[in-house]
């Protein structure tokens, strides 16, 4: 049977011709193969981390602890729900003390582990200590996060629907024009800056100064952040004209090396990436402060269609 070819208007044909011409123009601009390979390698490593058994896609819950007893197990009415039928309804207790310390108890025979060892009772380290203690029950893991004094159990499941259904990340084409040199204008002293978060409560980050850079002939600035003055890298949170259009609405992240003695660094927007909140509702992402809202569109790095989770 012969299939009918759908009608295409002249306007649609003209649009396709323009798109084809644009693609040819873009294809005619050579990219250094070695540089393109570096970007692809970075993207593959990023994807490997994201899709790992315990990556961001494995999150199934974020449960804020109440003072006193917080039951954890597979029961739906528990304070911390572990979605594995092999886990008992009540596998243990998390006790949040008035001093903010968390003590964990395991029910006998529940098979709960802490950092790979059998658990009976322990004082838990949160992620504020650098590396949180990992509690395992069945295939489920959880640990305690500290967000400005509020504590929550973050639960991960390698069989999370968000992980099993994930179809990958779309990217803008690699363009060396989006890899730019930036000059740091340092503050007299590093500043503590209030950064908004999706929780509706600010977090504090350390800003060493302002980075000045030029894209498409126009100068822009971004405020980078560090964990300490000795940090050898910059963390940037930014919005631009693509936000909520072709990229994630709440902005993107970018990492860069700290400046050398000449005060310059490189911002490679081909490596701009989506925050965890683009993939899971159980992350606690920082948001771009007003000083990092760029008045231009940067068509580089990771895209977002709203279909990631």
* Residue 59 scores a pLDDT above 50: yes
The string of pLDDT tens digits covering residues 165-220 is 999 999 999 999 999 999 999 999 999 999 999 999 999 999 999 999 999 899 99
Residue 245 CA to its chain's centroid (Å): 19
Cβ burial 71-96 (10 Å sphere, 16+ → b, else e): bbbbbeebbbbbbbeebbeebbbbbb
Classify residue 265 as exposed, middle or buried by CB count within 10 Å of its CB (0-12, 13-18, 19+). Answer: buried
The string of pLDDT tens digits covering residues 225-238 is 998 888 889 999 99
Q: Dihedral of CA 56/58/63/65: which sign?
A: negative
- Please provide the average confidence, as pLDDT, over all residues in the chain: 89
The string of pLDDT tens digits covering residues 18-57 is 333 334 334 445 789 999 999 999 999 999 999 999 999 9
Would you say how long the chain is, in residues? Answer: 309
Residues 6+ apart with CB under 8 A from 100: 149, 151
* Residue 250 scores a pLDDT above 70: yes
> Which pLDDT value is given to residue 259?
79
Beta-strand pair 80-81/68-73: parallel
Q: Domains of the chain (ranges plus CATH)?
A: 32-51+167-292 (no CATH), 56-164 (2.60.200.20)
């Amino acid at each position: 049977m012969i299939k009918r070819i759908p009608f295409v208007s002249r306007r649609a044909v003209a649009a396709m011709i323009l798109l084809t011409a644009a693609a040819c123009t873009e294809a005619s601009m050579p990219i250094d193969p070695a540089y393109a390979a570096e970007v692809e390698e970075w993207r593959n490593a990023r994807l490997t981390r994201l899709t790992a058994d315990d990556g961001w896609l494995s999150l199934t819950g974020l449960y804020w602890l109440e003072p006193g007893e917080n039951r954890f197990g597979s029961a739906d009415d528990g304070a911390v729900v572990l979605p594995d039928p092999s886990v008992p309804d009540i596998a243990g207790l998390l006790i949040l003390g008035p001093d903010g310390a968390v003590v964990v108890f395991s029910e006998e025979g529940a098979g709960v582990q802490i950092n790979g060892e059998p658990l009976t009772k322990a004082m838990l380290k949160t992620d504020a200590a650098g590396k949180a203690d990992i509690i395992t029950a069945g295939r489920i893991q959880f640990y305690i996060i500290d967000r400005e004094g509020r504590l929550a159990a973050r639960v991960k499941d390698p069989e999370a629907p968000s992980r099993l259904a994930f179809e990958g990340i779309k990217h803008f084409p690699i363009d060396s024009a989006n890899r730019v040199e930036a000059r740091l204008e340092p503050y007299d002293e590093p500043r503590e800056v209030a950064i908004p978060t999706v929780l509706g409560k600010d977090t504090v980050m350390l800003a060493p100064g302002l980075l000045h850079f030029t894209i498409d002939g126009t100068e822009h600035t971004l405020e980078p952040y560090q964990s300490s003055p000795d940090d050898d890298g910059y963390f940037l949170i930014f919005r631009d004209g693509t936000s909520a259009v072709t990229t994630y609405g709440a902005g993107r992240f970018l990492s860069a090396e700290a400046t050398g003695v000449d005060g310059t660094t490189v911002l490679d927007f081909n490596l701009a990436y989506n925050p965890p909140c683009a993939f899971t509702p159980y992350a606690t992402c920082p948001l771009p402060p007003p000083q990092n809202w760029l008045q231009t569109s940067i068509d580089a790095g990771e895209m977002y269609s709203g279909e990631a989770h």
